[in-house]
Structure 1
Amino acid sequence: MTVGIVVVSHSSKIAEGAVELAAQMAPDVELVAAGGTDDDRIGTSLEKVLAAVEQSLVDSGGDGVVVLTDLGSAVMTAESAMEFASDPDAVLLADAPLVEGLVAAAVAAQGGSGVADVRKAAEAAGYRPAEPADQAEGAGVVKPDASGDFTLINPLGMHARPAAKIAGGLSGLDAEVTVNGVDGMSIMALMALAAGQGSTLRIEARGKDAQKAVDYVRRLVEEGFGEL
């Protein structure tokens, strides 16, 4: 079993489309769409969201459920559904961008992360400018605790799936990581690098798990992100 994920949107098409996208990167994760009203208009439905949460609780086999939403009122609907759920303590609401957060959460769940780490992966997916690598502390320069240069060998380079695998895996580590100067936990920032096959990724990491972070990215790159 893996952590289940519920997507709450004002539009059934948005929820279903987001689930379809994430499923391409996390085929073993139970993803449930709960979009639109009961008569398929724009809006949210407490009954529909509660049913999705209950289905996900069953499908996850006790591993827990993470809920992602689009707009403000969807959050309120999700919170109400969580209160009425059969096991509310097993359901966590993520404060994350819907699509990017969903992909990062799904990749983390696919990798076997627990419910708290899946929510953390979703919430870490929002774009944040990376700190400059050469920022000064007093008279010195902050150098990475670990670093590495790796050449992309997969045919499509840094597209959505590799970016999601990098961001999702790094989110569970105690390290600040940059990839070619951008936040390694931001799927959008990684994709914006437009790094094709043959491009070099410069990984710099700081923190307790710095070497683990660099080694994690190295393995992904050397394995071609499973696309070879």
Structure 2
Amino acid sequence: MTVGLVIVSHSSKIAEGVIELAAQMAPNVRIAAAGGTSDSPSRIGTSLEKVQSALEEAEQGDGVVVLTDLGSAVMTAEMTLEFLPPDTRSRIRLPQAALVEGAVAAAVQAESGGTVDEVASAAERAVVSIDPESLEPFVSHGAAAPGPSAPLEAAAEPAVTGAWTLPNKMGLHARPAAVIARALTDLDAEVTINGVDGKSVMLLMSLALGEGKELRAEATGPEAQKAIEYIGGEVKAGFGEL
């Protein structure tokens, strides 16, 4: 079982589209749509009944993370939670996150076996391309692109590094970014790829590395060598696309 996701949108087409995108990178995660109103799928709005039904569809016992678009969708989701038994409500999270980026990041984290809190946190950390403060309270500060980080302490062991030229036509697009992020999450190593966290699918996608671009990886920790060998193998194989 994995943590489930519910996508709440004023538009049924938006909800279905977000699910289509996220499912490409997390095929084993149950994602349910709650888009539009109950009386008409084409009508713009939200529905308490649809959210309730989607929660029941997505729940498998490990919890559900609910992602929403605009303000009234948040209120509809919150109202739905008020009608649930305390035990059920305790397994549901409603993070403040960008809908598309948050759904992709959450789905990848769920696919990797993350807990409901880890999946919700992944959604909130997802990168967005606009100033999140202008969208408060719908997008959290945690969704902002990371600023300068604090100086890191010197590593006890030298980092393991690697560099390769991307041979596949699409380069490091969504699917291989998700594959790498999921695999690195399971390794006991800290990995950066071209300066960003290798375990974050959204940060990897933000690099926009196309065919012929250089992918540089650096890893530290007990399984650093394994991480670099894995990345190198995937790149050389063109992520299975050659």
Q: Please give the TM-score of this superposition, normalised by the length of structure 2.
A: 0.72
**What residue in structure 1 maps to residue 79 of structure 2?**
80
User: Is the CA contact 1:66–1:94 (under 8 Å) kept in the aligned structure 2?
Assistant: yes
User: Is the CA contact 2:112–2:185 (under 8 Å) kept in the aligned structure 1?
Assistant: no
Q: Deviation digits for residues 88-144 of structure 1, max 9, x if unmatched?
A: 111111222111111111122222222222222222212414537xx879xx9xxx9
Q: Post-superposition shift, 1:221?
A: 3.9
1:202 aligned to which of 216, 221, 224: 216
Q: What is the CA–CA distance in structure 2 between the aligned matches of 1:119 and 1:219, rounded to whole Å?
A: 31
**What residue in structure 2 maps to residue 180 of structure 1?**
194
User: Is the CA contact 1:44–1:77 (under 8 Å) kept in the aligned structure 2?
Assistant: yes
Matched, 1:26 2:26: yes
User: Is the CA contact 2:127–2:203 (under 8 Å) kept in the aligned structure 1?
Assistant: no
Aligned residues: 220
Q: What is the CA–CA distance in structure 1 between the aligned matches of 2:46 and 2:187, rounded to whole Å?
A: 35
Q: What is the CA–CA distance in structure 2 between the aligned matches of 1:79 and 1:210, rounded to whole Å?
A: 42
Q: What is the CA–CA distance in structure 2 between the aligned matches of 1:53 and 1:177, rounded to whole Å?
A: 35
**What residue in structure 2 maps to residue 105 of structure 1?**
106
Structure 1 portions without partners, runs of 5+: none
Q: What is the CA–CA distance in structure 1 between the aligned matches of 2:115 and 2:92, rounded to whole Å?
A: 12
**What residue in structure 2 maps to residue 67 of structure 1?**
66
Q: Structure 1 stretch 189-198 or stretch 173-182: which is displaced more?
A: 173-182
**What residue in structure 1 maps to residue 142 of structure 2?**
none
Structure 2 CA distance for partners of 1:35 and 1:225, relative to 1, 3 Å: same
Q: What is the CA–CA distance in structure 2 between the aligned matches of 1:219 and 1:193, rounded to whole Å?
A: 20
Matched, 1:193 2:207: yes
Q: Deviation digits for residues 157-211 of structure 1, max 9, x if unmatched?
A: 11122233445666789987643234556655533433223432223468x7894
Cα root mean square deviation, aligned: 3.5
Amino acid across the alignment from 1:5: L
Structure 2 portions without partners, runs of 5+: 129-144
1:131 aligned to which of 127, 138, 148: 148
SS in 2 for 1:67: strand
Q: Post-superposition shift, 1:225?
A: 4.1
Q: What is the CA–CA distance in structure 2 between the aligned matches of 1:47 and 1:224, rounded to whole Å?
A: 45
Q: What is the CA–CA distance in structure 2 between the aligned matches of 1:63 and 1:124, rounded to whole Å?
A: 21
Q: What is the CA–CA distance in structure 1 between the aligned matches of 2:230 and 2:5, rounded to whole Å?
A: 25
Q: Post-superposition shift, 1:227?
A: 4.6
Structure 2 CA distance for partners of 1:78 and 1:209, relative to 1, 3 Å: farther
Q: Post-superposition shift, 1:8?
A: 0.6
Q: Please give the TM-score of this superposition, normalised by the length of structure 1.
A: 0.76
> Identity over aligned residues, as a percent?
59
**What residue in structure 1 maps to residue 176 of structure 2?**
162
Q: What is the CA–CA distance in structure 2 between the aligned matches of 1:167 and 1:78, rounded to whole Å?
A: 30
